[in-house]
Amino acid sequence: QKEVEQDPGPLSVPEGAIVSLNCTYSNSAFQYFMWYRQYSRKGPELLMYTYSSGNKEDGRFTAQVDKSSKYISLFIRDSQPSDSATYLCAMRDDKIIFGKGTRLHILP
C-alpha cells in the first residue's frame, strides 16, 4: 500500500459547484497535512496546511483532516474556471510525501 493515495481524476464539475478532493494515507505518524495547487507546467503553490485533526477554512477553501480514518479532504466552494488545476495533497513526519494529484476542470 502506498503511503498516500489520491485519485488522479480528471474531475470535471460545472462552475459554481462545490468540489471535494480527497486523499487517504497509511502512516499514522503524519502530523502536518497540506494541499497544493499546481497549474500546468508550473511549480506547486501551497494552498493550505493543517496540523493534526480538524478543519481549517480560508475563503472558498476548507481543509479537513480525520486522523482516525487517515483521510483528508479539500473543499472548494463556488468553484471558478480559474480553479482548474491539479491539486496535490501532501503530508509529513520527517519528510513531505505527495499524492499524485487530482486534475480538476471547472466547466464555465
Please report, as ranges, the residues that interact with another protein according to CB under 8 A.
4, 8, 32, 34, 36, 41-46, 49, 88, 92, 95-96, 98-101
Cell 488522479, residue located:
8
Would you state the cell numbers that stand for residue 21, as one nine-digit string? 478532493
Minimum distance from CB of 13 to another protein (Å)?
20
Q: Which residue number, 36 or 72, has a Cβ lying nearer to another protein?
A: 36
Would you state the cell numbers that stand for residue 49, as one nine-digit string? 496546511
Q: Which residue number, 44 or 84, has a Cβ lying nearer to another protein?
A: 44
Q: Which residue number, 32 or 75, has a Cβ lying nearer to another protein?
A: 32
Minimum distance from CB of 16 to another protein (Å)?
28
46 Cβ neighbours under 8 A, 6+ residues apart: 34, 35, 36
Distance CA 56, CA 72 (A): 11
